[in-house]
Structure 1
Amino acid sequence: MRLHSKHITKLMVTAFAVTMFFSCKNNFEEVKKIGVSENEPIGIAENINLKYTDSGRVTANLRSPKMLDFTNREFAFNEFPEGITLYLFDEQNQKSTVISDYAIVYDKTGLVDMQGNVILASATNDTLYADQLYYDQNKEWLFTNQAVTFKTGRDRINGTGFDSDVKFKQAQVLEIDGIITLDE
């Protein structure tokens, strides 16, 4: 009887240990999120001045009065609720400038969504005015499907949609509503 009781005790301890082992899981990620709502930013930066480099050369400079960091989300992004000024530099260090009232930068896609009074002034004095403009950082491509005004040389082109490389060498207004040529 005593042997039988030791055997039952050993069996119960083993069953308990196995149950505890399999019921435990690695929830470190969930522990890190305690106290942080997914709807709230995990960081707020003010008066930022970010510089992007490629092979030691500055290719872009992003400035903003405020940045909200939402990298705690599954589809991480940074929000600029007070707008941005973005300087893009080509290989000859010529500067194009983009200004908008609001912007979001998506980490996974490298896409920048600029909204509200977007103005892009190129190094060659071409200027684009739009309510919304996307910048694909990976392809260095600008595009929108919203209404635009594109000033190039003496022409002002009004239309809907715009596609271009950052140098405006392949710039085109997609659906042209009208072209106005200004006298010099």
Structure 2
Amino acid sequence: MALKYKHITIHLVTVLAVTLCLRCTDNFKKIQQVGVLQNEPVGVAKDINLKYTDSGMLTANLISKTMLDYSNREFGFSEFPDGIHLILYDKEQNKSTITSNYAIYYTETDVIDLRGNVKIATTQNDTLFTEQLFYYEKDEWVFTNQPFRLKSPSGDTYGNGLDSDVDFKRINILEMYDSEFELEGDN
């Protein structure tokens, strides 16, 4: 009889241990975040100067005073509360620059939300000014629904809403007003 109770006890302990182990693996992510507040960054970087390369060629250089890492959130992002200075290099190593007073980089979508005194200056001497701009890193595409000014060698364009590549070669303007530019062949 004592052997039967011992056998039942061993089975109960085994079932209990397996149950506890399975419950622990389901909550492993929650356990990892113990002590990390959901609204707090998991990391803070100061005076960053990140260089991105592709096949040994420098493609971008990101400079910022502060970066807050919120990768602990379900939709992770990095915040740049002091703004960014982003230098983009083409295949001939020509530079275009993007600056703003504030930025958020969404890792899952490769989109940077730039806000406050946003400026893009290209190697072709085109400069875009606006208060908010989204930069899709993968396709090097920019878009805004805000008022903007596009200064170029052929004149200035003012409008509301813009969708373009970063070199302003393929540009769509939603609403254009008060523009001054020269057409080819005009003297």
Q: How high is the TM-score relative to the length of structure 1?
A: 0.91
Correspondence for 1:20: 17
Following the alignment from structure 2 to structure 1, what is the Cα–Cα distance between the partners of residues 163 and 89?
19
Check the 8 A contact 1:157/1:173 in 2, yes or no: no
The alpha carbon displacement at 1:6 in A equals 2.6
The one-letter amino acid paired with 2:94 is Q
Greater Cα offset, 6-15 or 160-169: 6-15
Structure 1 residue aligned with 2:149: 149
Greater shift in the superposed pair: 8-17 or 62-71: 8-17
Structure 2 counterpart of 1:18, one-letter code: V
Tell me how many residue pairs correspond in the alignment: 179
1:23-69 Cα offsets, whole Å, 9 max, x none, are 32224333321111121011111110011111111111110011101
Which letter does structure 2 place at the counterpart of 1:22? Answer: T
1:23 alignment partner AA: L
Asked if the contact 1:150/1:173 (under 8 Å) is kept, the reply is no
- Equivalent residue, structure 2, for 1:55: 55
Give deviations 1:98-125, integer Å, cap 9, x for gaps.
1100001111111111001101111111
Unaligned runs of 5+ in 2: 183-187
State the partner residue of 2:110.
Answer: 110
- In the TM superposition, residue 73 of structure 1 has moved relative to its aligned partner by 1.2
Structure 2 counterpart SS, 1:138: coil
Letter in 2 for 1:127: T
Greater displacement, 155-164 / 27-36:
27-36
Q: Which residue of 1 aligns with 2:99?
A: 99
**Structure 1 unaligned runs (5+)?**
none
1:181 CA displacement: 4.0
Q: Structure 2 matches for 1:99-178, cutoff 5 A? A: 99-178=99-178
Larger deviation, residues 54-63 vs 163-172:
163-172
Query: Deviation per CA, 1:109-164, whole angstroms, max 9, x where unpaired?
Result: 11111001101111111010111111111111111111111112232111111111
Distance 1:167 1:58 in 2: 18
Quick one: which amino acid aligns to residue 12 of structure 2? Answer: A
Question: Are 2:70 and 1:70 equivalent residues in the alignment?
Answer: yes
Q: Secondary structure at the match of 1:29?
A: helix
Using the TM superposition, give the Cα deviation of residue 90 of structure 1 relative to its aligned residue in structure 2, in angstroms: 0.9
- 2:6 is aligned, of 6, 9, 12, to 9
